[in-house]
Amino acid sequence: VESNIDAKEWLIEVERVSSKLKISVQNEPREWRSHIEQARQYRLEKHSESLGKVLEKISKREKNINYNMNDLGTEYKAKAEELKVIATRYNDLNKTVKDMSEQYKQVTERYEQVMAKTSEHGNSVTDNSPLQKIKLAIQNMRNEITSMDLRIGVLSHTVMQHKFKERRHRDDKGLEHVDDLIE
């Protein structure tokens, strides 16, 4: 079976008659579908009424809570602001403490350097080893001077003895001109 109808004409015809082909169901009061629809409608109305009452109660309680908690809310806001101020002050003071700790560390290091230099200087001042060396050198020089004085004395004595002997010998021989040569 083949159709001789054009596809475009067929679509146009379907569109034209499709609205006439729809069946509309009329609800009769005795029909069970209408009873179900009425029951749904009644339940929706009851639910909306009970929800309205619940919303009204919630609204009243919310207003009551807001009224009672208004002071607490204000107090909370004030405390929150105070906390912000305290936190800012804490951060500032903490930064100051860190800066002062760094300064303290620097001062302590400087103090330790000064104490080391002072201790070193004190040790060099109280270190009497160079002084002891000088005293020992002076004592050695005194000993050498004493030894030299002793030698000079011995040599002087020897020279004097030699002069006495020469004089005696000259007096004995009459050599007066040798005396002039020695002196």
More confident residue, 151 or 38: 151
- Among 59-73, 92-106, 143-157, which stretch is predicted with the lowest mean pLDDT? 59-73
Q: Say if residue 179's pLDDT is above 60.
A: no
Query: pLDDT tens for residues 118-143?
Result: 888 776 666 677 778 889 999 999 99
pLDDT value, residue 26: 60
Residue 102 in this model has a pLDDT that exceeds 90:
yes
DSSP readout, 10-28?
Answer: HHHHHHHHHHHH---PPPP
pLDDT at 25: 57
Of 181 and 122, the one with more pLDDT: 122
Q: What is the pLDDT of residue 145?
A: 92
Measured in whole angstroms, the distance separating CA 34 from the mean position of its chain's CA atoms is: 81
Gyration radius from the chain CA atoms: 68
Instruction: State both tokens at 165.
Output: 């002997």
Vertex 42: Cα angle to 41 and 43 (nearest 5): 90
pLDDT value at residue 54: 93
Q: What pLDDT score was predicted for residue 20?
A: 76
Mean per-residue pLDDT over the chain, rounded: 83
Mean pLDDT of 63-87: 88
